[in-house]
């Protein structure tokens, strides 16, 4: 079975500081990995996805994530946090058929002015 683990249900950073949200996956085959963001009272929207083309993936709003097979990790980073980054972030994994996505429990990011 595939799953993802997000370490830290709540992360607080100061405006301008580095954002690091952690995601580890378990999979018996190379997976497809995603980060989604959810703003208050909205549905989820895609930040970025890993499809084996490159280990460092760049997404929207300055976010990026690096796929590390040896660590089974796909951590999300942003060099400088902005107030508008405050949201809930979900890591997700699926396999080749794409019929079942498995989401992590989410990390709520707070940006302190």
Partner 1 sequence: NAGVTQTPKFQVLKTGQSMTLQCAQDMNHEYMSWYRQDPGMGLRLIHYSVGAGITDQGEVPNGYNVSRSTTEDFPLRLLSAAPSQTSVYFCASSTVTGPSTGANVLTFGAGSRLTVL
**Shortest distance in whole angstroms from residue 113 CB to partner 1:** 26
Say if strands 64-68 and 10-14 run parallel, antiparallel, or are unpaired: unpaired
Residue of the chain from 31, 65, 109, 111 that contacts partner 1 (CB under 8 A): 31
Residue ranges in 53-112 that form contacts with partner 1 under rule CB under 8 A = 90, 94-106
- In the numeric block, which tokens belong to residue 4? 């993802």
**Shortest distance in whole angstroms from residue 96 CB to partner 1:** 5
Look-up: residue for tokens 């709520």? 108
The DSSP string of 47-68 is: EEEE-SS-SEEE-GGG-EEEEE
Binding site for partner 1 (CB under 8 A): 6, 9, 31-32, 34, 36, 41-46, 49, 51, 90, 94-106
């Amino acid at each position: 079975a595939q799953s993802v683990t997000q370490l830290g249900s709540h992360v607080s950073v100061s405006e301008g500081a580095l954002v690091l949200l952690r995601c580890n996956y378990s999979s018996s085959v190379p997976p497809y990995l995603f980060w989604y963001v959810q703003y208050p009272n909205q549905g989820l929207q895609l930040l970025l996805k890993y499809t084996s083309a490159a280990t460092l993936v760049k997404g929207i709003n300055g976010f990026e994530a690096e796929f590390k097979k040896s660590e089974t990790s796909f951590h999300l980073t942003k060099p400088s946090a902005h107030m508008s980054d405050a949201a809930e972030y979900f890591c997700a994994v699926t396999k080749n058929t794409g019929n079942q996505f498995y989401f992590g429990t989410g990390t709520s990011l707070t940006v302190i002015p």
